[in-house]
Amino acid sequence: SKIVQPYNRWYTGKANRPVAHRARPVMRGGNLGGLLRPIPAKRCVVLVLAMLMANCAPLTRHDAPIDTVSQLPENWLSAGKIALQPSTTGASINRVLRYRLQQRGEDFTLRLSGAFGLGAVLVEQQGDRVTMRRGDELLGDAESSEALLEQLTGLALPVSLLRYWLSGRPGPTDQAAVFSRSASGFEQAGWTVAYLSLGLFDGLTLPRKLRAQGEQGKLTIVVSEWQAAR
């Protein structure tokens, strides 16, 4: 007599051959013991290092707000580089300056070097008087640090505003011919300032990289040091 196979979902009507299917994992010990495997020690070290590097990465402008003015010390020091592209020299020419700015209340001292034939120069403001020196030699004095620097070096640099921009804020409104602010920067005195990234300096979240563009040209500032000063 003909043997009739019982219905089985793993069989087809063609020659009653089993259909290929995936084997399900076997659970051992009534738990996930059969699925869990120990992670090699080398892989653990790699994972830990990746986590530490992520924690030390520089902040972007979206990661945290810039600390408020009330949290900033009255005296501080900032150092880094300024790439200046004057609008009159063409898009391919950049001048790179090294800067060191020391803020003391309302006064400041700015040291610039690297782009002009005067060597390192010192721009200093005390009260209403601005002087420019090279070593012990007085190069000039004026009421405007911008006018003095441009007259002696040909550089159009917003010196009096840099100290405010480096601390993440615009200068006083009486210095702003045009002023408006957005989440990523502001416009002031004909310059459009954008904060490209933030960093943690002396426990404060401050600009690490910023760009300012105006009719005089474009400048990019990269801060390598910022600390409270006595």
97 φ/ψ angles, rounded to the nearest 5 degrees: -110, 145
CA–CA separation, 104 and 145 (whole Å): 16
Q: Where are the beta strands (DSSP E) in the chain?
A: 59-60, 75-86, 95-104, 107-113, 121-126, 129-134, 137-142, 179-182, 185-188, 191-201, 204-214, 217-228
Q: What is the CATH number of the domain that holds 83?
A: 2.50.20.10
| Angle made by CA atoms 198, 200, 203, in degrees to the nearest 5 | 145
CA–CA separation, 138 and 129 (whole Å): 13
Reference 156, options 82, 90, 217, 94; nearest CA is: 217
Residue 187 amino acid letter: E
Give the structural domain span for 119.
Answer: 60-228
Whether residue 18 is contained in a domain is answered as no
Per-residue pLDDT reduced to its tens digit, 86-131:
776 554 556 888 999 999 988 999 999 886 666 788 999 988 888 9
One digit per residue, the tens of pLDDT, for the chain of length 230 reads 434 444 444 444 444 454 444 444 444 444 444 444 555 655 555 454 555 444 434 444 444 566 655 678 889 999 999 998 877 655 455 688 899 999 998 899 999 988 666 678 899 998 888 898 888 888 888 877 788 777 776 777 888 889 999 988 888 865 444 455 555 788 888 899 999 999 998 888 899 999 999 988 899 999 999 999 87
Whether residue 19 is contained in a domain is answered as no
How many domains would you assign to the chain? 1
Whether residue 106 is contained in a domain is answered as yes
Per-residue pLDDT reduced to its tens digit, 11-33:
444 444 544 444 444 444 444 44
Whether residue 41 is contained in a domain is answered as no
Whether residue 99 is contained in a domain is answered as yes
Whether residue 34 is contained in a domain is answered as no
pLDDT at 21: 46
The whole model's pTM is what? Answer: 0.66
Whether residue 111 is contained in a domain is answered as yes
Per-position b or e across 8-27, b if 16+ CB within 10 A of its CB:
eeeeeeeeeeeeeeeeeeee
Whether residue 143 is contained in a domain is answered as yes
